[in-house]
Chain A
Amino acid sequence: MNQSVDSIRDEARSWLKENWDSSLSLIEWRTRLAESGWAAPDWPEDYYGRNLGPAEVAAINEEFAAAGAIGGAQSTGVRSLAAATLLEHGSDEQKRTFLRRILTGEDAWCQLFSEPGSGSDLAGATTRADRQGNEWVVNGQKVWNTSAHHADYGLLVARTDWDQPKHKGLTYFIIDMRQPGVEVRQLRQMNGHASFNEVFFTNASVLPDHMIGEEGEGWAVAVTTLAYERRGFARSRDIKIDKLWSGKIYDQYREEVAIANEPYTWYPQRAGRVDLVVQRAKETGAIEDPVIRQKIAKLLAMDKSAQWFAARLREDQKAGRAKGPEGSITKLAASNIARLASDVHTSITGTDAMLTGPESPQNGIIAEILVSVPAVSIAGGTDEIQKNIISERLLDMPKETRFDTGPFKDVRRN
C-alpha cells in the first residue's frame, strides 16, 4: 500500500513538473488534467480516472498543492453528486459528455429532489414528466434546491407513471436549467443566506437521451445520489491553493471558486467549525475550565473518529466490502458533531454569543455557526430518516408499516 502511495506520488510529481503550466487558461489546464487522468484519480480508468484509493489520492493532492497546481472542479457543489450518479448509472455517452465538463468546471449542477409536498418521503414526488413526441415535458415544483440559481444542469426525480406504486413510477433525468420552462427563485434561510431555491417547471423539456437509468427506475438512481451525499458529510478533498500564488489562471480559479462556492460559504459553519474550538478556547480563557475541556475533548474525539470511520468506509467501498447505506452513519455522526460543536462554541463564547455581525466574535463566524448548524440534521435527509435507514438497512430491524402501497394516484398526500 505505502509503496504504491510513494510511487504514485513520484509519478504525480514528475507529471506536474512537465505539464503544470500557469499560462494556460483554467479550462485549458483542466481539460489537460481531465484527459490525463490526474483530475479525478479515484475515478475509473475508462472515465478520466486512474482507479486509485484514498491514500494515493491524498498523496496526489499534496503534490498538487505543493506545486501550486489547480485540481479538477468536481468537488465543488453538486458536481460531485452528479459525477457519482453518472459514474454508477449513466450511459457511456452521458459519462463522456458530462463527466469531462464536471472536471473542467464548465457546468454547474443542482439537485432537484425535494418538493413542497415530499421531502423525507422523496419517493412521493409529484413533479411530472410526460413523454411527448421525441422529448420529455416536465411540469411541477421543486424546493430547497441548493445552488439552482447557478446551475446549468439539474438532477431531477420526476413521476412518469401514476398507476405504479410510488417507488416504481419515478424516473431520473438530467434537465437543462437554462431554458424558458425553468424558473428559479431564491429563498432566504434562517441564517440570512439564500443558497437554496424553489424551482418551477412549466412545460420544460428534457432530451430523450438525458434520462439516467431506465424509465420507472429513478428511485434506485436517486438512492445512489443520496448515499453518496451522506457519505460526503465527512469529506473534504479540495486541493488547497495557497493565497500567495498569483497569475491569470489563479485569478480565473478564484473567480470560479467564488461563484461555485457562493451558496456554500456558510457550510463550514453549519458543520460546527470544530477546527476553531481549541484556538477560541485559548483566546477566551475557557481552556482553563475543566468542564469545557471535557466537552472539547469529547468533540475532538467524535470528530476524529467520524473521519476515520469515513476513511475506512471509503476503502471498504472501493474494495466492495460495504453494504451501501453506511453513509447514513457518517451523516448522523456529522449532525451529532455539529450540534455538540455549536454547544461548545456557546460555552466558550459565553454572553458574547448573543452578538452577530462582523464585530461579533471571530468576525461573526461564531454567530453564523450557531444559526447554521440546524441545517445539518435536515439537509440530505433528516436525522430521523438516517435512523430509519440505519435500523432497517444496516441493522435489519423490521420496516415501518406502510400506508402508501398500491397505485401512487390513490396514495394520501399533502
Chain B
Amino acid sequence: MEFSFTAEQDQFRESVARFMTDKSPSSDVRKLMETDDGFDPNVWRQLCGELGLTGIHIPETYGGAGFGPVELGIAMEEQGRALLCAPYLSSSVMAGYALLTSASEEQKRAWLPAIADGSQIATLAISEDLGLWRANDICLTAKPNKDAYTLAGRKRFVLDGCVADMLFVVARTEAGLSLFKVDTSAKGLRRTPLPAMDPTRKIAEIELAGTPAELVGQDGGFNLDATFDSVLVAFANELAGGAEAMLSSVVEYSKLRVQFGRPIGSFQAIKHRCADLMVEVELAKAAAYQAAQQLASGEEATELASLAKATASDAYLFAARECIQFHGGIGFTWENDTHLWFKRAKSSEVFLGTPQEHRERMLQAVGV
C-alpha cells in the first residue's frame, strides 16, 4: 500500500492547481453561482481539453487518460480548494463511475468518450423525495415495455440535472436495482431546478411520467454500492481540498488583521485553534488520500470510502466555521468569500449521506 504521492503525481497536482488559481478565482465563482447553468463553458472546454481532467480516471479504451482514483483525487482536491464551478462531480465522477461499474462494453464505448472529453455532460440520479442514497432507499420503478422500459417517479438532489445532456437514473425493476439512460427530450420528463442553499452546486428535481428509458448494463445489475464507494472517495478528496483552503484563509487573515496593537494571529487563543484545525485537516487529507489508494489497489473500499467522506466533511465544516469566526463581522458578510466555502461545506455534509450515516456504513462494512 502506498501512503504518499509520486513525483509525477505531485507535478500533476501543481498543474491542476495552477489552472484552478487562474480559472477559478472567487470573482468567477461569484459570477457563475448567479447563473442557471452554474459553469463557464470556456473554462469547461479548457478543463476537458488542455488538462484532460474530465477523463482522468477513465480508461484509454473509452477515451480517457487511463489514470486512477489517486489522480482523480488530486483533481478533485484542487477543484475543491478553488471551489471550481463545473459539472465535474456529476458528469465525470458520478455518471462516469456508474457506467464504468455497470454498463455493457458497447455502452461504455458509446457514452464514456463523450464524458471523458467533456463534449457531453452526464449526471446520475439516485436519491428521491426522502433525500436518501442507499440501495434500499430507491423506490422509483422501471416497467418493461416491449424492448424498452418506462420510468415513473421523481428524483431529487440531482447534481447538474438541468444542464445534463445524458441522464442516468437508478430505478428498481423486478430483477432489482438497475440503471437507465433517459433521453433529455423524452416524453414525460420534467427537470426543475431546486433552490440551493449552496449556489455553487446546481441541483434539480427530475420527474418521470411513463418516460421511455434505455437499460444500462444488465437488468437488476446496477452496482450502486461500488459506484457509491468510488464517488465518495473522489468527493472526500474534494472536501479535503476545501477544508485546507479554509485553513489557509483563516491563517492568512489572522496574520493581517491587527487588534490591540498586534496581529490577531499572535493571540494564543487563535493560534491554538488554528493548530487544532490543522490536525483535523491533515487527518481528513490522510483519510481521503488513503481511501483513493485503497480504491486504486482494487481492494474492498467501502469502509475507507465512508470513513473518508465522514472525516472530510466534518473537517470542512469545522474549518469553514472557524474561518468565519476569526474573520469577525466581515466573516458574516456577503462580500467576504468565506461563505462560499461554508455553503459548499454545508451542502456537502448532507450530499451523498451525512457523516453519521457514513460512520454507521463504515462500521457495517467491517461487520461491526
Beta-carbon contact of A398 and B266 below 8 Å:
yes
- Closest residue of chain A to B10 (Cβ to Cβ) is A321
A397 in contact with B254 (CB, 8 Å): yes
Q: Which residues 1-47 of B have a CB within 8 angstroms of A? A: 1-4
Q: Which residues of B contact A329 (CB under 8 A)?
A: 278-279, 282
Shortest Cβ distance from A321 into chain B, in angstroms?
8
Contact across chains for A388 and B283 when beta carbons are under 8 A apart:
no
Which chain B residue shows the least CB distance to A298? B359
Chain A residues 41-92 with CB under 8 Å of chain B are: 54-55
Q: Which residue of A is nearest B283, CB measured? A: A305
Q: Is there an interface contact between B282 and A309, defined as CB atoms closer than 8 Å?
A: yes
Q: How far is the CB of A296 from chain B (nearest CB, A)?
A: 7
Closest chain-A Cβ to B45's Cβ sits at a distance in Å of: 34
Residues of chain A within 8 A of B287, CB atoms compared: 301, 304-305, 308
Q: Which of A275-292 contact B (CB under 8 A)?
A: 278, 287, 290
Given contacts A297-B360, A305-B283, contact A312 B3 (CB under 8 A): yes
- Choose among B2, B272, B360 the residue that contacts A387 (Cβ–Cβ < 8 A): B272
Q: Is the CB of A301 within 8 A of B286?
A: no
B245-288 with Cβ < 8 A to chain A: 251, 254-255, 262-263, 265-266, 268, 270-272, 274-276, 278-279, 282-287
Which of B262, B272, B289 sits near A398, CB closer than 8 Å? B262
Residue contact B289 to A336, C-beta cutoff 8 Å: no
Instruction: List residues 257-295 of chain A with CB under 8 A from any CB of chain B.
Output: 278, 287, 290, 293-294
B127 within 8 A of A: no
Would you call B356 and A294 a contact (CB within 8 A)? yes
Q: B209: CB under 8 A from chain A?
A: no
Cα(A399)–Cα(B4), bound, Å: 31
Return chain B residues, CB-CB under 8 Å to A398: 255, 262-263, 265-266
A319 within 8 A of B: yes
| Bound CA–CA A236/B287 (angstroms) | 19
> Which residues of the partner chain A approach B286 to less than 8 Å between Cβ atoms?
305-306, 308-309, 312
Determine whether the beta carbon of B282 is less than 8 Å from that of A397. no
Within 8 A of B (CB), among A367-412: 384, 386-392, 394-401
| Bound form: Cα–Cα A315–B276 in Å | 23
Q: For the complex, is A137 an interface residue (Cβ under 8 Å from B)?
A: no
A305 CB, nearest partner CB in chain B, Å: 4
A336 neighbours in B (Cβ, 8 Å): 279
A290-328, CB < 8 A from B: 290, 293-294, 296-298, 300-302, 304-306, 308-309, 311-312, 314-316, 319, 321, 328
Interface residues of B, dominant DSSP: helix
Which residues of the partner chain A approach B359 to less than 8 Å between Cβ atoms? 293-294, 297-298, 301
Minimal beta-carbon separation of B308 from chain A (angstroms) = 8
Residue of A nearest to B276 (CB): A387
The secondary-structure label for the interface of chain A is helix
Beta-carbon contact of B3 and A394 below 8 Å: no
Q: Which residues in B have their C-beta under 8 angstroms from that of A304?
A: 287, 290, 307
Collect the chain A residues with CB atoms within 8 Å of residue B310's CB: 297-298, 301
Closest B residue, CB atoms, query A390: B275
CB distance from A266 to the nearest CB of B (A): 25
Instruction: Give min CB distance, B361 to chain A, whole Å.
Output: 9
| In contact, A387 and B275 (Cβ under 8 angstroms) | yes
- B239 interface contact, C-beta 8 A: no
Contact A395/B268 with A293-B359, A309-B282 known, Cβ cut-off 8 Å: no
**Cβ contacts under 8 Å, B262 to chain A:** 398
B3 & A397 in contact (Cβ 8 Å cutoff): no
A333 on the B face (CB < 8 A): yes
Rounded to whole Å, the gap between the CB of A277 and the closest CB of chain B is: 10
Kindly state the separation between the CA atoms of A395 and B368 in the bound complex, as whole angstroms.
Answer: 38
Q: Chain B residues near A384 (CB, 8 Å)?
A: 272
CA distance A332 to B276 in the complex (A): 8
Contact B268 A388 (CB under 8 A): yes
Give the distance to chain A from B74, nearest Cβ to Cβ, in Å. 14
Determine whether the beta carbon of B255 is less than 8 Å from that of A332. Answer: no
Instruction: Check A296–B290 contact: CB distance below 8 A.
Output: no
- By the criterion CB–CB under 8 Å, are B290 and A397 in contact? no
Q: In the complex, are the beta carbons of B271 and A388 less than 8 A apart?
A: yes
Q: Does A244 contact B (CB under 8 A)?
A: no
Q: Which of A203-243 contact B (CB under 8 A)?
A: none
Q: Is A190 an interface residue (CB 8 A)?
A: no
Which chain B residues (337-368) contact chain A, with CB distance < 8 Å? Answer: 356, 359-360, 362-363, 368
Q: B311 at the A/B interface (Cβ < 8 Å)?
A: yes
In the complex, are the beta carbons of B271 and A287 less than 8 A apart? no
Nearest neighbor of A398 in chain B, beta-carbon distance: B266
Report chain B residues within 8 Å CB of A311: 3
User: In whole angstroms, how far apart are the Cα atoms of A311 and B282 in the complex?
Assistant: 12
> Would you list the 7 A-B pairs with minimal beta carbon distance, nearest first?
A297-B359, A391-B271, A387-B275, A390-B275, A398-B266, A309-B286, A305-B283
Interface positions of A (Cβ within 8 A of B): 1, 54-55, 278, 287, 290, 293-294, 296-298, 300-302, 304-306, 308-309, 311-312, 314-316, 319, 321, 328-329, 332-333, 336, 384, 386-392, 394-401
Can you show 18 pairs from A to B with CB atoms below 8 A apart? A55-B1, A293-B360, A297-B359, A304-B287, A305-B283, A308-B290, A309-B285, A311-B3, A333-B283, A387-B271, A390-B278, A390-B279, A391-B272, A391-B274, A397-B254, A397-B265, A397-B266, A400-B266
Given contacts A301-B310, A308-B287, 17 further A-B contacts (CB under 8 A): A55-B2, A294-B360, A304-B307, A305-B286, A308-B286, A314-B3, A321-B4, A329-B279, A332-B276, A333-B279, A387-B272, A390-B278, A395-B271, A395-B274, A397-B266, A397-B270, A399-B266
